[in-house]
Structure 1
């Protein structure tokens, strides 16, 4: 029942507000209280992502975001995904001295790349030219099209093949010693779900080469490491979980699999999948020539492969969902208002600090803000120049806006700053306002973010 209701709510971004409201009301009549709370959360999250420039409001784009595919991100969504990829790269490459980054091509003319669901690049003009040749019989037309497809480059759907091809030079780099890994991230194409239109997804990949007797140990090791990493940035870590892949769902030559998933309001979706793949694919890639694949301690053995593949677009969606809090508060007129806050982890938050001005001499206050802005940028602290906003806005409205953007701190410059160097700092997570000296603020923010990263 919940999945049916969710589908109704997921359409709210495509319809005018009045229709969206009616759809939500209709859904509520058919689901339980807990389901309706989940529906509210889904609707709020999707609307907030559009309003605060995490994703573009286009209908097709919203569908891609909901499916966990690469979409048109807004400025904040782009920065969030970049931060997530940076943290992934750092966690994988610094977890072992023997993990190396590689960069493979997104397309290949290698016939060995053929397989089920293979995607190929075909020039539409050339295909049209073949189809328009009226002198060709139906059989000849089919042959021409098949020949065109066969000689067209294939698009990658994952990074595994590229890592397998890079194994031999990498083995020489480490003096033929195991274990070691090859890491890569970027865009891959996913076969369509029946629509005939494949979509891009931002993938991460670690391909780990180890001795056959240790492959099971390494699968367990990386499963623990990856779950720990996802939970590190979560407000509610228990929403992230791992489970063994059922035997009937094992992929290709894999003997074991582990999925790391996130519990969305509508159900679990996988974020990363780990496979113990054996050595069959490595042998196939290198034409069965065992001699060049053998490592120092295993003269007659071929390394086994453990792969870790992640969907970072779905990861972005998971952290947005996990960080959303809806709190009730009273305004000055004793009315209950819902306060929406994106409590993104400090290292993932796209904007760390917003700079605004209070009452006072506007020109002088802006000059102070410009100086602070430069300091923050030099310290690589992402800053939002709220003081450039020309429309009059109350601090309460600004705080609500910044909370929804996920901004960690709001710094307000006022006449008091010009006189004594003191400014007001508001925390997103506690809503407490503190007074600090202008000379302390950069180091305070740097220490806060650094401490959060080390937890």
Structure 2
């Protein structure tokens, strides 16, 4: 984690990431992307879009509204089903998801039959306050001791919960009667940061951000409805239901995924672009989720960007296309990686798949804190289109005079082929959903290297980003700050910028080696040095970031040299 902290420091110091609204204390989980962060995100997005739209004749793009009306997300199941379980710690006041929380940590003890549970506080003063809170309010009568920042809870016995998370129990030692116990229910997890077992029962928490598209302040309507004569003496639940009904016509959501915008435009895309399955619709855009726990910088945030592809297929070809996209997407990840061994695919177990999915494979990256999902490839079946047909009577059914099998398809499920003529079916969908923020973080972690300089010097940092992803493609460096070098340096930079490559002129009064190292730190693949010989024969030196190798060439050849290096001749 020390290396990860060094990477985050580099990102802030060099212009990849800033804390949003930092001058006002910041906003938890919100980040702004600086000049280099914007370029890195754009380059990742461009690589993805190029591969999945420009290189193919069966995928088109779409950009749908962020604001989504209630009926769309009601039909898709998000209003009722898009929830996580939420647990509060009554000691630390932290909220977390129980499925991501650790199990209880015990310390064996000679003095206590069942051992001791250490509760970790951030400092000694907090530990003392927590101990008082436990003894006086949370669990009066249990025996505790204070060891620096740790509160030790003395335990007589411990029973693990069953597979359903039920039946678990912790029997604490009573301070006044050690032979007796004070029992607490244990469901198999504790608060992640402190190891505290003092938790509320889990409850569902909808992850969507709700807002209102209405010229009238919705709070006024809430007050009017809740305080009306009709609602007096009713239960809180009944009042809440009445308020929801009043607000329902103006209720909209910030979309929790980009996919639903694609599904509800399916018929319009097929009609205007004359597309028939198999074909795909790609979309890049912001999504919003009211995450319970925000963590690891930009890994989990309430606002994030998605790279999503919905590929519509005849049902009888679904097995083939799921395997196809599963393989193709993983190939893209490895192509840009320094350490391919830190990327893997993991198939979902039946009990962890979304209710609409029949198969799902995650691409995971080994972050400093462990494996984390960066993309999911899922076979969504025809759930989404069918739901929107039921709720809107949309014309999403495909009608064909005769059944066709795509020439490239090697695996066909014949039992799903319609027998009537004309053939009618609702397409199945293979979805590739990739988080752009997590992708950026994964490639930054993958590229971050610390190189020892020896002689007790601190290590220097190098970002070995793939050249196509690197924010700055080239840095042009006049040997000194003398004005006679600048016209040629500017001409080189101008020629590269016109190719669409972010290029910087570095004319500071620093040794050339230090300027090289500054660009190694931000991942610049090539540095071009203009020196005295350049003024005589117009040749320059170009240096490679990863090898340190240098070669001499005419400055007009720099464009072709970099273009050849960036050329992507990988075939799909």
Query: Please, which of 34, 50, 56 is the counterpart of residue 18 of structure 2?
Result: 56
> Whole-Å Cα distance in 2 between the matches of residues 45 and 76 of structure 1?
14
Q: Partners in 1 of 2:42 and 2:491 — Cα distance?
A: 27
User: Bigger radius of gyration, 1 or 2?
Assistant: 2
Gap regions ≥5 residues in structure 2? 81-205, 233-238, 295-299, 404-417
Provide the alpha-carbon RMSD of the alignment: 2.9
Task: Give the corresponding residue for 1:312.
Answer: 436
Query: Is it true that 1:412 corresponds to 2:525 in the alignment?
Result: no
Structure 1 Cα separation of the partners of residues 274 and 227 of structure 2: 60
Pairs within 5 Å for 1:262-301: 262-287=365-390, 292-296=396-400, 297=403, 298=418, 299-301=423-425
Per-residue deviation at 1:110?
A: 4.6
**Corresponding position of 2:453:** 329
Matches within 5 A, 1:29-44: 39-44=1-6
- Asked if 2 retains the 8 angstrom alpha-carbon contact of 1:191 and 1:199, the reply is yes
Aligned to 2:322: 219
Alignment pair present for 1:120 and 2:210? yes
Shift of residue 294 of structure 1? 2.4
Q: Distance in 2 between matches of 1:170 and 1:379?
A: 33
CA distance in 2, matches of 1:271, 1:358: 42
TM-score (structure 2 length as normaliser)? 0.65
The 3 A distance-change label for structure 1 pair 249 and 135 is: closer
More deviation, 296-305/124-133? 124-133
What is the number of residues matched between the two proteins?
A: 404
Alpha-carbon distance in structure 2 between the residues aligned to 1:112 and 1:358: 61
1:5 alignment counterpart: none
Q: Distance in 1 between matches of 2:304 and 2:448?
A: 24
1:93, 1:185 → 2: CA distance? Answer: 12
Alpha-carbon distance in structure 2 between the residues aligned to 1:324 and 1:349? 12
What is the match of residue 491 of structure 2? Answer: 371
Of 47, 55, 62, the match for 1:87 = 47
Corresponding residue for residue 139 of structure 1:
231
- Distance in 2 between residues matched to 1:144 and 1:48, nearest whole Å: 49
Q: Which residue of the partner structure matches residue 64 of structure 2?
A: 104
In 1, the alpha carbon distance for the partners of 2:323 and 2:264 equals 25
Distance in 2 between the 1:308 and 1:128 partners?
39
Q: Is contact 1:101–1:183 with CA below 8 Å preserved after alignment?
A: yes
- 1:381 to partner: Cα distance: 2.2
Does the 8 A contact of 1:184 with 1:206 survive in 2?
A: yes
Q: Distance in 1 between matches of 2:479 and 2:511?
A: 10
1:447 aligned to 2:564?
yes
* Aligned-partner Cα distance in 2 for 1:121–1:83: 33
How much does 1:419 deviate? 2.1
- In structure 2, the CA distance between the partners of 1:412 and 1:198, relative to structure 1 (3 Å rule), is closer
Please state which structure has a larger fraction of its residues in strand.
Answer: 2
Q: Secondary structure at the match of 1:97?
A: coil
The answer to whether residue 548 in structure 2 is matched with residue 431 in structure 1 is yes
Give distance in 1, aligned partners of 2:31 and 2:288. Answer: 13
Partner of residue 83, structure 2: none
Write the distance in 2 (CA, Å) between the matches of 1:453 and 1:432. Answer: 25
**Would the aligned equivalents of 2:213 and 2:252 in 1 still touch at CA under 8 Å?**
no
Structure 1 gaps, min length 5: 1-38, 65-69
Pair 1:138–1:258, CA change in 2 (3 A): farther
Q: Which residue of 1 aligns with 2:262?
A: 163
Is the 2:389–2:395 Cα contact (8 Å) retained in structure 1?
no
The offset of 1:160, in angstroms, is 2.0
Q: Indicate conservation of the 8 Å contact 1:413/1:423, yes or no.
A: yes
Distance 1:318 1:138 in 2: 55
TM-score normalized by structure 1? 0.81
Q: CA deviation at 1:365?
A: 1.0
What's the secondary structure of 1:178's corresponding residue?
Answer: coil
Report SS of the residue matched to 2:52: helix
Once residues 274 and 34 of structure 2 are traced to their aligned partners in structure 1, the CA distance between those partners, rounded to angstroms, is 45
